[in-house]
Amino acid sequence: MEFRKVIGGAVFGMTAFAATLASAQEVNVYSLRQEFLVAPLFEKFTEQTGVKVNVIFAEKGLVERIKQEGANSPADILMTVDISRIQQAVDAGVTDSVSNGVIDANIPAHLRDPEGHWFALTQRGRAIYASKDRVAEGEIASYEDLADPKWEGKICTRSGTHDYNIALFASMIAVHGEEKAKTWLEGLKNNLARKPQGNDRGQVKAIKEGECDLAIGNTYYFGKMLDDEEQRTWAESVNIVFPNQNDRGMSMNISGMSLIKSAPNRDNAVKLMEFLTGDVAQQIYAEVNYEYPVKPGVEWAENVKSWGTFKADELPLAEIARLSPDAIKMVDQIGYNE
């Protein structure tokens, strides 16, 4: 597995990287979040505090790496996406509890672990994308509507076992109970236009090409598609629908962070965690990746504002993490991906 190493803007090989970490004693981050997104945050933190941030970037495998490194791991903070992946780190026993008044004041209770093992950094909604040409405005209004037989053969989704969908399915279990949620999921499967495949943006592309009329996808992808010359026509072919505005609100997921149990630079790590939940960092997150800040009162990016306001589901993310194994089992039971 290949890991990307960035120290103060320079890229190092593993030997040099390890030596730098051993001597620097600054703050060391293992990040599953992309470099372009977190680099501006770390640069601003260093500018304000003088504390350097050393980073390993990878697409996967960082929790396993921390476990293998054990008590000698240089990692102070793990940054990742999706509540399921964050919970995997907690379940692996590599995280530590943080009790901090600044962080708790910045992040609403439903967006952090009750025991302090993880904290949300950004939010993204699980929206419905609807064809402008083939779906009338207001014709689809809730996740529950996706199981209506009127949409048979008209819905596209990525794999049912992908973390983004598992979080949504877990929220349906929390709201409706396991039996009704299973019936709903069976209805959604019956309405699929094709076997689940691709990523969220690929579902919107399928709408543009007429393969389906509806899709499920994260909100921030709408902004990313509009920014991409090739994908802009995909985004322009759909309306972004915020589901369940008349009841519980749109299901939300997060990116987040955890303090590592063996953190060699704990004080600086907590200082960085405070910074990442504050106004400056939250504004950077909002503008760079079209995500919703977790700290109340921080402005959304201007183009995100243009999509409209919405009511967010405030179901505790800890409950979604708890029910995710049940959602995975349910997906397998009904053969959603077959």
220 marked as part of a ligand binding site = yes
Question: Per-residue pLDDT averaged across 27-32, rounded?
Answer: 95
Residues 105 and 153 in one domain: no
Q: How confident is the model at residue 12 (pLDDT cuts 50, 70, 90)?
A: very low
| Strands (DSSP E) found in the chain | 4-7, 10-11, 27-31, 53-57, 77-81, 95-96, 119-131, 155-156, 214-218, 238-241, 252-260, 292-293
285 marked as part of a ligand binding site = no
pTM (2 d.p.): 0.88
Residues 321 and 217 in one domain: yes
pLDDT exceeds 50 at position 8: no
Q: How far apart are CA 154 and CA 152, in angstroms?
A: 6
Residues 54 and 143 in one domain: no
The DSSP bridge pattern shows strands 119-131 and 214-218 to be antiparallel
Q: How confident is the model at residue 77 (pLDDT cuts 50, 70, 90)?
A: very high
pLDDT (tens digit, 9 = 90+) per residue, 180-213? 999 999 999 999 999 999 999 999 999 999 999 9
Question: Per-residue pLDDT averaged across 5-25, rounded?
Answer: 44
pLDDT exceeds 90 at position 44: yes
Q: How confident is the model at residue 2 (pLDDT cuts 50, 70, 90)?
A: very low
Helices (H), 277-316: 279-289, 302-305
pLDDT exceeds 80 at position 87: yes
- Supply the range of the domain harboring residue 290: 4-122+253-305
Residue with tokens 């076997």: 195
Residues 281 and 300 in one domain: yes
What pLDDT does residue 59 have? 84
Residues 326 and 208 in one domain: yes
Residues 178 and 319 in one domain: yes
What pLDDT does residue 242 have? 98
pLDDT (tens digit, 9 = 90+) per residue, 253-273? 999 999 999 999 999 999 999
Question: Per-residue pLDDT averaged across 300-309, rounded?
Answer: 94
Backbone phi, psi, residue 236, to 5°: -70, -10
H/E stretch holding 46: helix 35-49
Residues 31 and 113 in one domain: yes
pLDDT (tens digit, 9 = 90+) per residue, 275-288? 999 999 999 999 98
pLDDT (tens digit, 9 = 90+) per residue, 114-156? 999 999 999 999 999 999 999 999 999 999 999 999 999 999 9
pLDDT exceeds 60 at position 299: yes
More confident residue, 59 or 164: 164
Residues 240 and 259 in one domain: no
Question: Per-residue pLDDT averaged across 7-32, rounded?
Answer: 57
Question: Per-residue pLDDT averaged across 233-260, rounded?
Answer: 97
Residues 187 and 202 in one domain: yes
Total tally of structural domains belonging to the chain: 2
What pLDDT does residue 37 have? 82
More confident residue, 175 or 22: 175
What pLDDT does residue 298 have? 96
Residues 186 and 238 in one domain: yes
Question: Per-residue pLDDT averaged across 103-115, rounded?
Answer: 96
Residues 239 and 228 in one domain: yes
Backbone phi, psi, residue 118, to 5°: -155, 155
Residues 272 and 321 in one domain: no
What pLDDT does residue 11 have? 37
Q: How confident is the model at residue 36 (pLDDT cuts 50, 70, 90)?
A: confident
CATH number (domain holding residue 135): 3.40.190.10
Q: How far apart are CA 110 and CA 146, in angstroms?
A: 26
At 221, is the secondary structure helix, strand, or coil?
helix
Average pLDDT of the chain?
A: 92
